[in-house]
């Protein structure tokens, strides 16, 4: 098995930039979903995706500088996301009870 | 091994994220988001963040996603209907996001030229012991403020979601 693979295959390392670019890609996909989708719950999940992408950046920089601080920030982002999910889903519940829809382009009474 | 794991789970994360955006039904989107979060927790482990990886699994793909699925089922949310009106965001969204991505990648590759290579096991300062030490000494005040935030969130969720009794 090991003769078939090029030497150093199992010991090769990943550049740190790859993690940062992966984080940027995930953030961009989340932003796209936030702009294009019309279901309020899906939009909410896209926001969670963007928060996760930022967490990946924090943890990557924590590795780069060899300190734990970035992970602490990522932990706080997680806590805030949990609180936000609880309140946001309660708001979605209230909207659905009052308007009977989850499409954001039908909830536009502030526009008129 | 690092390269294989990073490539595999990075691809899983990207495919899951794309699937989250293009699926029409909220339940499919929620399951795609769970796969993204599990893949990201493996990447956190590769970066040496053991505690954050565990918290990611327990808090995100456990607690938060269960809340999402619960609300989707409670509201009986069906597939999304096509939008009648196309706003400005529909035309400018994709080009502007692409510009953001290209710009971010350019800045990353230009400014992070002295970046280390990531090797599993090279950074061991992310275990529960180290995170807890930092959390209860240097970051004690933010940590305590967080508990007030959670308390307010609980009260807010209960007030918003209660049934009107009269």
Q: What is the DSSP letter of A103?
A: B
Q: Per-residue confidence at A12, pLDDT binned at 50, 70, 90?
A: confident
Q: Helix or strand or coil: residue A14?
A: strand
Q: Per-residue confidence at B85, pLDDT binned at 50, 70, 90?
A: low
CB contacts of B125 in chain A (<8 Å) are 66-68
User: Domain range for residue A21?
Assistant: 16-106
User: Is a pLDDT exceeding 70 seen at residue A15?
Assistant: yes
Looking at CA atoms only, how far is residue A12 from chain B in angstroms? 6
Question: Pairing mode, if any, of strands B117-118 and A14-15?
Answer: antiparallel
Note whether B84 contacts A105, CB cutoff 8 Å. yes
The arithmetic mean of pLDDT across residues B20-36, rounded, is: 92
Block residue for tokens 């992070």: B112
CB contacts of B97 in chain A (<8 Å) are 28, 31-32, 35
Chain B: residue whose CA lies nearest to A15: B117
Note whether A63 contacts B116, CB cutoff 8 Å. yes
The arithmetic mean of pLDDT across residues A83-106, rounded, is: 87
ipTM of this model?
0.89
What are B104-155's pLDDT values in tens digits? 888 888 887 777 787 777 788 888 898 999 999 999 999 999 999 999 999 9
Q: Which residues of A31-47 are buried (b: 16+ CB within 10 A; e: fewer)?
A: bbbbbbbbbbbbbbbbb
Interface of A with B in 23-62 (CB under 8 A): 24-33, 35-39, 41-42, 44-46, 48-49, 52, 55-56, 59-60, 62
Helices marked H in B23-77: 26-46, 50-55, 65-75
- Domain for residue A11, yes or no? no
The arithmetic mean of pLDDT across residues A67-88, rounded, is: 92
CB contacts of B3 in chain A (<8 Å) are 9, 12-14
- Domain for residue A60, yes or no? yes
Looking at CA atoms only, how far is residue A110 from chain B in angstroms? 16
Model pLDDT, residue B146: 93
User: Is a pLDDT exceeding 60 seen at residue A64?
Assistant: yes
CB contacts of A14 in chain B (<8 Å) are 2-3, 6, 46, 117-118
- When computed from its CA atoms, the radius of gyration of chain B, rounded to whole angstroms, is 20
The arithmetic mean of pLDDT across residues A78-101, rounded, is: 89
User: Among B48, B117, B146, whose Cβ lies nearest the Cβ of A79?
Assistant: B146
Helices marked H in A1-112: 16-36, 40-65, 69-99
Between A56 and B3, the higher pLDDT residue: A56
CA distance B80 to A58: 34
Q: Per-residue confidence at A107, pLDDT binned at 50, 70, 90?
A: confident
Token pair in block for residue A86 = 């609880």
CB contacts of A71 in chain B (<8 Å) are 49, 51-52, 126, 131
- Domain for residue A38, yes or no? yes
- Domain for residue A21, yes or no? yes
User: Is a pLDDT exceeding 80 seen at residue A4?
Assistant: no
User: Is a pLDDT exceeding 70 seen at residue A79?
Assistant: yes
- Run of H or E residues at B117: strand B117-118
- Domain for residue A35, yes or no? yes
- Domain for residue A26, yes or no? yes
Token pair in block for residue B88 = 């400005």
| C-alpha distances out from residue B16 to A29, A68, A89, B161, Å | 10, 28, 22, 31
- Domain for residue A112, yes or no? no
User: Is a pLDDT exceeding 80 seen at residue B164?
Assistant: no
Looking at CA atoms only, how far is residue B117 from chain A in angstroms? 5
Model pLDDT, residue A7: 66
Token pair in block for residue A103 = 């499409």
- Domain for residue A50, yes or no? yes
The arithmetic mean of pLDDT across residues B84-110, rounded, is: 82
Between B119 and B164, the higher pLDDT residue: B119
Q: What percent of chain A has pLDDT over 70?
A: 90
Output the average pLDDT for chain B.
87
Answer for the pair B154, A89: CB distance below 8 angstroms, yes or no: no
Model pLDDT, residue B43: 93
What are A85-95's pLDDT values in tens digits? 999 999 998 88
Model pLDDT, residue A112: 65
Looking at CA atoms only, how far is residue B66 from chain A in angstroms? 11
Number of structural domains found in chain A: 1
Which of A38, A50, A85, A99 to mutate to probe the B interface, most B CBs <10 Å? A85
Which CATH number do you get for residue A93? 1.10.287.3510
User: Is a pLDDT exceeding 90 seen at residue A24?
Assistant: yes
Q: Is A84 exposed, middle or buried (0-12, 13-18, 19+ CB in 10 A)?
A: middle
The arithmetic mean of pLDDT across residues A30-57, rounded, is: 91
Model pLDDT, residue A99: 83
Other CB atoms within a 10 A radius of the CB of residue B54 amount to 14
Which candidate, A69, A56, A76, A63, places its Cα nearest to that of B133? A69
CA within 13 Å, CB half, A2: 5
């Amino acid at each position: 098995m090991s003769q078939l693979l090029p030497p150093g295959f199992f010991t090769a390392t990943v550049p740190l930039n790859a993690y940062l670019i992966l984080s940027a890609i995930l953030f961009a996909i989340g932003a796209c979903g936030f702009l294009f989708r019309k279901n309020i719950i899906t939009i909410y999940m896209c926001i969670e995706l963007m928060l996760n992408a930022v967490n990946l950046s924090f943890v990557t920089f924590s590795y780069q500088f060899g300190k734990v601080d970035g992970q602490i920030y990522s932990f706080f982002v997680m806590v805030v996301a949990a609180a936000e999910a609880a309140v946001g889903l309660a708001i979605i519940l209230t909207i659905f009870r009052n308007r009977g829809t989850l499409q954001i382009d039908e909830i536009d009474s502030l526009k008129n | 091994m690092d390269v294989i794991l990073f490539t595999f789970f990075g691809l899983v994360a990207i495919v899951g994220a794309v699937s989250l955006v293009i699926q029409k039904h909220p339940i499919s989107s929620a399951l795609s988001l769970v796969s993204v979060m599990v893949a990201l927790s493996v990447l956190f482990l590769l970066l040496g963040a053991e505690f954050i990886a565990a918290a990611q699994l327990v808090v995100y793909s456990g607690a938060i996603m269960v809340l999402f699925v619960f609300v989707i089922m409670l509201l009986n949310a069906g597939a999304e209907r096509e939008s009648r009106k196309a706003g400005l965001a529909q035309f400018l969204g994709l080009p502007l996001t692409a510009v953001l991505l290209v710009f971010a990648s350019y800045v990353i590759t230009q400014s992070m030229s002295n970046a280390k290579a990531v090797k599993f096991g090279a950074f061991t300062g992310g275990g529960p012991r180290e995170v807890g030490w930092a959390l209860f000494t240097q970051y004690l005040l933010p940590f305590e403020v967080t508990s007030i935030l959670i308390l307010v969130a609980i009260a807010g969720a209960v007030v918003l979601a209660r049934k009107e009794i009269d």
